[in-house]
Amino acid sequence: MESTVEALEGNKVKLSVAVTESEFETDINEAFRQIAREVRLPGFRPGKAPRKVLEARIGLEAARIEALERSVPKYYLQAVDEHDVDVIAQPEFEITGGEEGGDVSFTAVVEVRPEVNAGGYENLRVEIPSPEATEEEVEERIEHLRNSFSTLESVERPAQSGDQITLDIEGSQDGEPVAGLTADDYLYELGSGNIVEEFDDQLAGTKTGDVLEFKADHPDPDEAQIDFKLTVKDIQEKVLPEADDDFAKEASEFETMAELREDLSNRMSMVKKIQASMAINQKTAEALGELVDEDIPEALVDQEFQNRLQDLAMRLQAQGVGIEQYLAGVGQDQESWVAELREAATQGVKVDLALRAVALKEAIEVAEHELEAELEAVAQRVGEKVAKVRKQIERNGQLAAVRSDLRTRKALEWLVSKVELVDEAGNTIDRAALEIAPPTADSTPDEENVEEDSEEN
């Protein structure tokens, strides 16, 4: 087989393939063997009729057509591999010779992955969360602790935001109580807006013993207004403990507030370092994608869209949830969701193309041992031997794609190591600040505390 490749307009190439008559004869023989398995001839078991008998019965033309249908895609993949053509869509074949006899030739026009310009990647600046806990954040955490140890004391003054008010609530429509909106001795925090908006306006400035009557909109917009009657039975304010050494002893294992503050700062900083480190790859990829101005081939976007859709569907299926149920849960209509997913797919393609451009510019290559390690990882995931996985990938013509994906991952790793890191205020972050000190027996926070700190940050 001989082949050539020619660049065309519109991000396409044309592969021209020629196969000699003697080479194609092997494909014709294989076609006859296939036909023998499918037809029944008297005196012969299925698959055992010789070629001469079949050729005499059905003619050479049928076998040649079968051979062309089976062999053209095979020779096409060989040409793609030979010329390292990075195809992104199905080819358009045209048989140019050999349909009736002699040497076989055909062309395949196919769209290929474009090369984009990612100029400026050398000077990328990426904003990530600050890896160090600030004094304000530590104080907020201490205030949270003080709140959890607070007590309530009754007051004679008018109610103000943050007070806990004990109420008798009567909610009715046409004189009939409304389920869920009638209660005795209900403890309500003024300013929380937990029931209806009018509660906070009506209760502000009230005193113990006041009785309020007013109308308010029902939480369900389709329902009529509700008549409320509130009886203020008690007003209590939160009393927070002093942030002193006694409080530190009560709220923690430490003897002083200084020790508690230091511990909180260390814990919160560790979580923030993890969050910052996790953000670098994503932020770097996003910044790189923004450098791409070229139009992206729809074939690539479609492929990425389908991959993301399939991945989400599989994850939802594992949880017993369908797409429609998921959309109802997140309160999003299908049209806007599809638009967002397609936009994300477009950005993902831009990042991939930009990383390929970086890999090419920086001469980033994949060593054979790196490829073997990747194949071993794939084999482990699917529970097969490495040799079988490699053979399957080679048979499908996907080895070059695996190597290419590895190059883009290495390009991202290289880029991440080079980008300038800044915090929300624009201050440069030293990469050493992202390193987490090895834990000690005395200082290792338990998983529950780390989780709690992570949620709050």
User: How buried is residue 199: exposed, middle or buried, by Cβ count under 10 Å (0-12/13-18/19+)?
Assistant: buried
Give the Cα separation of 376 and 374 in Å (integer).
Answer: 5
What does the DSSP 8-state code read for residue 305?
H
CA distance 173 to 197: 18
Is the Cβ–Cβ distance between 257 and 244 less than 8 Å?
yes
CATH 1.10.3120 domain span(s) along the chain? 249-294+333-456
Strand partners, 12: 8, 111
- Report helix, strand or coil for 227: strand
Residue 454's pLDDT is 42
Residue 16: partners with Cβ closer than 8 Å, 6 or more residues away: 3, 4, 5, 6, 96, 105, 106, 107
- CB within 8 Å of 207: residues ≥ 6 apart: 156, 157, 158, 159, 232, 235
Residue 267 backbone phi and psi in degrees, to 5: -65, -50
Q: Helix H segments across 187-290?
A: 197-203, 245-251, 257-289
Dist CA 434 CA 1 (whole Å): 56
Q: In whole angstroms, give the CA distance from residue 110 to residue 93.
A: 9
pLDDT in tens, 86-130: 899 999 999 999 988 899 999 999 999 999 999 999 999 999 999
Query: What is the per-residue pLDDT for 443?
Result: 45
Nearest-angstrom CA–CA distance, 72 and 280: 46
The residues pairing with 409 across neighbouring beta strands, listed in sequence order, are none
Tell me the residue type at 293: D
Separation CA 322–CA 75 (nearest Å): 42
d(CA 155, CA 235) in angstroms, rounded, equals 6
Q: How far, in Å, CA of 274 to CA of 295, rounded?
A: 36
Cα–Cα distance for residue pair 41/56, rounded to 1 Å: 12
- pLDDT recorded at residue 49: 65
Helices (H), 290-385: 298-318, 323-330, 334-361, 368-382
DSSP letter for each residue of 16-49: EEEE-HHHHHHHHHHHHHHHHHH---TTS-TT--
Predicted pLDDT at 84: 85
Q: In angstroms, rounded to a whole number, what is the distance separating the alpha carbons of residues 48 and 37? A: 8
One-letter amino acid at 212 equals: L
In 10 A of CB 68, how many CB atoms? Answer: 19
In tens digits, the chain (457 residues) has pLDDT values of 999 999 999 899 999 999 999 999 898 888 877 776 666 666 566 666 677 666 666 767 888 888 899 999 999 989 998 898 889 999 999 999 998 889 999 999 999 999 999 999 999 999 999 999 999 999 999 999 999 999 999 999 999 999 999 999 999 998 899 888 899 999 999 999 888 889 999 999 999 999 999 999 877 777 788 999 999 999 999 999 999 999 999 999 999 999 999 999 999 999 999 999 999 999 999 999 999 998 899 999 999 999 999 999 999 999 998 888 999 888 899 999 999 999 999 999 999 999 999 999 999 999 999 999 999 999 999 999 999 999 998 887 788 889 889 999 999 999 999 999 999 999 999 999 998 876 554 444 444 443 444 444 4
**For the domain 249-294+333-456, what is the CATH code?**
1.10.3120
Percentages of the chain per state (helix, strand, coil), in multiples of 5 = 50, 20, 30
User: Do residues 123 and 37 touch, judged by C-beta distance below 8 A?
Assistant: no
Quote the pLDDT of residue 43.
Answer: 57
Query: Alpha-carbon distance 116 to 351, whole Å?
Result: 10
3-class DSSP assignment, residue 281: helix
**CB-based burial, 260-274: b 16+ in 10 Å, e otherwise:** bbebbbebbbbbbbb
Can you name the residues that pair with 166 across neighbouring β-strands?
187, 234
pLDDT at residue 444, as a whole number: 42
Neighbours of 54 (CB within 10 A): 21
What stretch(es) of the chain map to CATH 3.10.50.40? 151-239
Domain formed by 2-111, architecture = 2-Layer Sandwich (3.30)
Sheet architecture: strand order including 2-8? 2-8, 12-19, 104-111, 92-97
Strand partners, 214: 228
Q: Which CATH architecture has domain 151-239?
A: Roll (3.10)
Phi, psi of 288 (to 5 degrees): -65, -45
Residue 191 is given by DSSP the state: T
Alpha-carbon separation of residue 92 from 110, 280, 364 (angstroms): 6, 42, 33
